[in-house]
Structure 1
Amino acid sequence: MGQTGLYIEARIRADLDDLWTRTQDPAQHQRWDLRFTEITYLPREEGEPQRFRYATRIGPFLTVAGTGVSAGERERPDGTRTSALRFSSPHPLSLLAEGSGYWRYVPDGDGVRFLTGYDYRPRWGRLGATADRLLFRPLMGWATAWSFDRLRLWLERGITPERALANWLAELLIRTLVITIACTALAPAASFPLLGPFTASLAYLCPLLLTVAVCVALFKAPLPCTPAARRCLRTPPTRSRAPRVLRTLENPR
């Protein structure tokens, strides 16, 4: 759709059926996927693709909604599973106008390679394209990868999505406090009149402490109980093609 599509992959040590349920059941999907606040299946006739409504809260009083259509292949000859969808949002404040994507479930030893590829068309003309390239698309890629790792923690370690979010916020707060305290330590030497002869040593030591503290806060690997986008693969190892089932879906309106 004019730009490089997004690709995210996570290896999850879980049963394939459990992973399928956590991703295909709307009530469970909306718990771990940061991109959505609500996902609701709409009524359908037997044999037709599943239509759904999604909503994302982007502020205390603003929710952007859209509709989509999806279809899945639960049993494939090679043992993999596939789910494809098309989606669109008529909301004028939604940068995302329409798009399509897929999920693949690839058994791999004692786990599953869970991967997605998707792309979309931004609205608002050149302004929207620029905002998408510089901000929104990187943010969407990060949110997808972060959500995949939150799903992994739920399946592998039993850490609920709500608990995982609390862990992430707590760790973010601690990192922020470390940086703030380190910066405070760089107060002028005159602020420590009682230190006497140690003032000069402190003046040399503070910048070093600041550098170490900031590096630890920014680059230390997240705790095992905290979801992190960096744990997911962001580039396909081989050329990835959209599943054939995607071509059978019409754009929702």
Structure 2
Amino acid sequence: MRRGLYIEVHIRADLDTVWRFTQDPALHQRWDARFTTIEYLPGTSPQRFRYATRLAPGLTVAGEGVTAGEHTRPDGTRTSALRFHSWLMTGSGYWRYVPTPTGVRFLTGYDYTPRWPLLDLLMRPLMGWATAWSFDRLRIWLEDGVPPRRSPLRLLPRWGAPSARRCLRVPPDRTAGRAPSLLEAL
């Protein structure tokens, strides 16, 4: 049975900063290894977008999706949700931002249906690793001020560069692993 992906990282930064660096496509595509480009399509509500990932020279996976966010929630958290489709997979997911006394718990849960199920034996572990590695890359950028393109070289002596191992891969509680109702509306 296929299991959805869950990744969580604690970032020592304020909620507005984490939100901005994850919701602005120009910033998002800089830290997230899963995407080469992300582009919002103008004049759509909920927000539609295009994305592309260059897997190898001459091999690009491109797709479209729709996203919506909850910037203000009664409990102080924020969420965003999305649905996406490409020739490789169709899926959905969410980001949750949970303020803590020392920063933000930034977490995601997502799942997808691959076009070729056997390919998923390779893709699912790779997508989980790439997401966790990217979350740690974002953490380093926001905590240490080291932009993603420079982080492997500058942080090697200090941190060993971004590492997927620093991220939680299993929900610590039932709330964290539950998709927000916002996802159903997309």
Match of 1:75 in 2: 72
Alpha-carbon distance in structure 1 between the residues aligned to 2:178 and 2:23: 21
**Equivalences for residues 64-103 of structure 1 within 5 A:** 64-89=61-86, 91=87, 94=88, 97-103=89-95
Alpha-carbon distance in structure 1 between the residues aligned to 2:43 and 2:56: 31
Match of 2:41 in 1: 42
Alpha-carbon distance in structure 2 between the residues aligned to 1:230 and 1:105: 20
Higher percent of residues as helix: 1
Match of 1:187 in 2: none
> Where does structure 2 lack aligned partners over 5 or more consecutive residues?
none
> Secondary structure at the residue paired with 1:227?
coil
Alpha-carbon distance in structure 1 between the residues aligned to 2:78 and 2:60: 32
> Secondary structure at the residue paired with 1:4?
coil
Match of 1:132 in 2: 120
**Equivalences for residues 54-65 of structure 1 within 5 A:** 54-65=51-62
Taking a change above 3 Å as real, the CA distance of residues 130 and 223 of structure 1, as seen in their structure-2 partners, is farther
Alpha-carbon distance in structure 1 between the residues aligned to 2:142 and 2:4: 27
CA drift at 1:225:
5.5
Alpha-carbon distance in structure 1 between the residues aligned to 2:172 and 2:19: 23
Match of 1:10 in 2: 9
Match of 2:112 in 1: 120
CA drift at 1:62:
2.0
Return the index of the structure with the highest Cα Rg.
1
CA RMSD of aligned residues (A): 1.5
Q: TM-score, normalised by structure 2?
A: 0.94
CA drift at 1:64:
1.3
User: Quick one: which amino acid aligns to residue 118 of structure 1?
Assistant: Y
- Does the 8 A contact of 1:153 with 1:225 survive in 2? no
Moved more, 239-248 or 73-82: 239-248
**Equivalences for residues 224-239 of structure 1 within 5 A:** 224=159, 226-239=161-174
> Where does structure 1 lack aligned partners over 5 or more consecutive residues?
172-221
CA drift at 1:166:
4.1
Alpha-carbon distance in structure 2 between the residues aligned to 1:36 and 1:73: 23
Alpha-carbon distance in structure 1 between the residues aligned to 2:118 and 2:100: 39
Alpha-carbon distance in structure 2 between the residues aligned to 1:142 and 1:166: 20
> Secondary structure at the residue paired with 1:161?
coil
For these two proteins, the number of residue pairs brought into alignment is 184
- Does the 8 A contact of 1:7 with 1:234 survive in 2? yes
> Structure 1 segments of 4 or more deviating over 3 A?
165-168
Q: TM-score, normalised by structure 1?
A: 0.70
User: Quick one: which amino acid aligns to residue 181 of structure 2?
Assistant: R
Higher percent of residues as strand: 2
Alpha-carbon distance in structure 1 between the residues aligned to 2:152 and 2:159: 13
> Secondary structure at the residue paired with 1:22?
helix
